[in-house]
Structure 1
Amino acid sequence: MAVSAGTLEHYSGGSSLVQSNQNLTGAVTGNSASQVVTGTNSITGDSFAGASGLPSVIQNSGNNVLIQNGVIVNVQMKP
């Protein structure tokens, strides 16, 4: 059963500053690559066909690479 807007008013969080931080730390050390061939990478027009949510793409065509990715999603609900 749905809750009325009047009832929800009493549970409102009000307003505030939201600050989110991510500290991603990593290191690539002691690696080696010799006589390697890297390829290509591409995203075509249909790559995200039918995608939903928060799609993310990380591409790399190199060697001995550390890729770090972080996503922070803040959702604010208002009556």
Structure 2
Amino acid sequence: MDGFGQAVSAGTLGHYSGGNGNISVQAGIQTMTGTVSNDTATNVTTGANTISGDSFSNASGLPSVIQNTGNNVLIQSGVIVNVQMKP
């Protein structure tokens, strides 16, 4: 099959839409509440973190990297992706 075929009308797409057509802005909220307290690190050795040139060679989507070489660390990460498609 060449191309995508015949286009679907805006009315048909509107019928199958997940929204109601009146929403123009949607917000995502993340609340992270992690804590670190009363920790001890004794006689520890931290290492190096490395990302090689091929680390993301077969990646798809939205790759994310968080690195830490310390001790007693809380790392929190969140991603909100909003995708809006308009005809």
1:31 maps onto 2:14 in alignment: no
The equivalent residue for 1:77 is 85
Q: Deviations over 1:25-79 (max 9, x none)?
A: 1101121001111000011111100100111111010000000010101111222
CA RMSD of aligned residues (A): 2.2
Provide the C-alpha distance between the structure 1 equivalents of 2:54 and 2:66, rounded to a whole number of angstroms: 17
Provide the C-alpha distance between the structure 1 equivalents of 2:44 and 2:77, rounded to a whole number of angstroms: 25
| TM-score (normalised: structure 1) | 0.81
Query: Could you list the runs of 5+ residues in structure 2 that have no partner in the other structure?
Result: 1-5
**Identity across the alignment (%):** 58
Provide the C-alpha distance between the structure 2 equivalents of 1:46 and 1:13, rounded to a whole number of angstroms: 42
1:13 maps onto 2:13 in alignment: no
